[in-house]
Amino acid sequence: MKAVVQRVKNASVTVGGETVGAIEGGLLVLLGVEPDDGPEDIAYIVKKTAGLRIFEDAEGKMNLSALDKGLKVLLVSQFTLLGDARKGFRPSFSNAAPPSVAIPLYEETAAKLREVIPTETGIFGADMQVALVNDGPVTILLDSRRSY
């Protein structure tokens, strides 16, 4: 699994003109699922997301997590994170899990996050409009395979 974690002042997901998920302060997490992801990948992403110390403490140092601050997560599926654009100009998405694999893993990730921190979601596979106000900006890349 790959994730882009952004510290936000607010974020929302709209589908067909209707807001389906929104947070005021916290983390926007864009999540890409790979074909051979499983429970260990979910556990890694959940633990890292909830525990990332990217919020300022009283001294202005990034030393607190969203969990520490009582904030929320907005989780959005995004298969394009797994796009490979090393050759040519059209990305290949062969590294992205097909919906039959990705949907249950995405839903399980959302469920596991909700056990730890309040979590809103988008709608898997929908044409989503994501709005956000970056805070900082602070953006962290996560990879459950730890390639970066």
| 79 flagged as catalytic | yes
| 78 flagged as catalytic | yes
| 119 flagged as catalytic | no
What are residue 121's DSSP bridge partners? 75
Q: Among residues 6, 49, 55, 78, which one is catalytic?
A: 78
CA angle 145/146/148 to nearest 5° reads 130
Round to whole Å and give the CA distance between 9 and 135: 5
Q: Among residues 6, 49, 55, 79, which one is catalytic?
A: 79
Round to whole Å and give the CA distance between 78 and 43: 18
Q: Kindly list the catalytic residues.
A: 78-80
